[in-house]
Amino acid sequence: MDIKCLPEHYSKLRTRFGHYFEALDNLGEAARTSGPLDDKTANLVQLAGAAAHFSEGAVHSHARRAMLAGATEDELYHTLLLLTSTIGFPKVAAAISWMEDVLGK
């Protein structure tokens, strides 16, 4: 993981608590490789979870990761729009705004 492309606060935590983040990385890898979903789909699922949890930082992270795994803008938007009847329009609108931070819009 290239620490230079990460948010400054996250990078500082990662540097200070390296052993802890190594364990988080291992947990994430175990979860990703425990089933049949590809990286793009897994990151879209995590994007939806981040939006449902109303976590701006996690929306940024998983939108970025989904794009790196090959997700298109249309797929990112669709992932969030699908949540409307589950989490409500205000949370979806906020998540789209946070995602657009990553998209540069």
Dump pLDDT digits (tens) for 43-67: 999 999 999 999 999 999 999 999 9
Residue that is written with structure tokens 């425990």 in the block? 34
Q: Is the pLDDT of residue 8 over 90?
A: no
Cα distances from 57 to residues 35, 51, 61, 99, in angstroms, run 25, 10, 6, 10
| pTM of the model as a whole | 0.85
The Cα–Cα gap between 74 and 71 comes to 8
User: What is the secondary structure of 39-92 as a DSSP string?
Assistant: HHHHHHHHHHHHHHTT-HHHHHHHHHHHHHTT--HHHHHHHHHTTHHHH-HHHH
Name the residue with higher pLDDT: 10 or 48. Answer: 48
Q: Is the pLDDT of residue 100 over 70?
A: yes
How much is the pLDDT for 5?
Answer: 64
Task: Assign 93 a pLDDT band (cuts: 50, 70, 90).
Answer: very high
Dump pLDDT digits (tens) for 74-89: 999 999 999 999 999 9
